[in-house]
Chain A
Amino acid sequence: MADDQQRNTASAFPAPPPFYSHFTLENQAKLKEFQAQEASGNDETNVGENASSQQQLPPELVCLIPPKPPTEGQYRSFGDTWNIPDRLPTLKELNIPQLFPEPSGESYNVDRAQELRRLCKSLLLNYLELVGIMGMSPEEFEEKVYHLRIHLINIHQLINEYRPHQARETLIAMMEEQLEKSKQETEENRKACAKIKDMMAGLSSYNANGLLVDSDQSTEEEKKEAAIAKASEGTKGDEKKDGASWEALSQAGLL
């Protein structure tokens, strides 16, 4: 059985786990019933009681309750082993010599760009040595190839360790952009508001001069309004007038 399971998890297309056949509609209904009973049965359930009542479940129902996610150790997925919590394994854990200095303290204080440059130069030099060795005594290639390998792994490790840093940097850039956008929108809104206020001030000054008293002058006012709106004169219907005012506003860049 254990052997079977081992083979199952290692294959590219593993068969479903054997308990999948328990996931029937009846079983799910039964489980709901059970849980409802449990909830009504003991309102002040503590963890220990819960565990014991789970043991009373019929075996075919136990599988329906998903287990808690693991909080420590390792797990396997798609043939790879993953650590919990997920983090980059250090070179020491992989038994590969580390060619750059260990960071001290919380904040990463090694100059990574400098280290990367150093490693790249060293990589190139090692290659040159390898070429030299290939010309003199090709059978001694192994050591140099190993050096090249270690260098490449170290470079990649250094870059991968840099990723969180880059992620933060990207986040900062995005936030700056958003801030800029938000400020710009506020600015535009304010400009539009000022424009409206100007227009209204103009209108009320007409009003104060008593220009709006008789209907002749009101058409004059209407003309002005229409000129702002660049709408055709002679729209007298209420609906049309409404449209003109909206157009005027849209001209002011508000809609």
Chain B
Amino acid sequence: MADRLTQLQDAIDQLATIFYCALRYVGTHHDFVPTHTEQKVRDETLQPDPPALFRSSQQELARDLVLKTKQIEVLIASLPGIGVSEDDQKERLKELGRELEKAEEERKKSIREKEELLVEFDEVVRSLKRV
């Protein structure tokens, strides 16, 4: 999974695509409404959708738009480390580095201890058998 920032950037790009799609759909699928007594205009390059379909498509596009915006807001809210300043982060990194060193030392010590005990135990077992 991509990181949050990339997700957010993708979402914004998608939002821009939806902007374009919505306008283009309305531009290419609308019907004409005659004013007063004029004849209804025709345009061969347009294929108007039936009113019901046009209406529902419009609504779908609008819903997409709102959904994407909501998604972007959620992503913004879940950005990692929001409200943490750079100095805080650096301080925390230093602290973690120290802790890690300490933990690593402890770990090595415990492994050494374990190995020594292993040898000792082995000797005990051997001596048991020899008696």
Contacts and interface: CB of A to CB of B under 8 A. Distances in A.
A186 B107 contact: yes
B96 A175 contact: yes
Contacts of B86: 106-108, 165, 168
Contacts of B93: 168, 171-172, 175
B9 interface: yes
A192 interface: yes
Interface of B is mostly: helix
A193 B114 contact: yes
B81 A166 contact: yes
B96 A176 contact: yes
Interface string B97-131: 10110011011001101100110111011101101
A189 interface: yes
B131 A218 contact: yes
A248 B125 contact: yes
Interface of B: 3-5, 8-9, 12, 15-16, 19, 22-23, 27, 65, 69, 72-73, 76-77, 79-87, 89-90, 92-93, 96-97, 99-100, 103-104, 106-107, 110-111, 113-114, 117-118, 120-122, 124-126, 128-129, 131
Given A130-B19, A186-B110, 16 more contacts: A112-B79, A113-B79, A124-B69, A159-B12, A168-B81, A169-B81, A175-B96, A176-B96, A179-B96, A179-B99, A190-B110, A193-B117, A196-B121, A199-B121, A221-B128, A225-B125
Interface of A: 106-109, 111-113, 116-117, 120, 123-124, 127, 130-131, 134, 148, 152, 155-156, 159-160, 162-163, 165-166, 168-173, 175-176, 178-179, 182-183, 185-186, 189-190, 192-193, 196-197, 199-200, 203-204, 212-213, 215, 218, 221-222, 225, 238, 241-242, 244-246, 248-249, 254
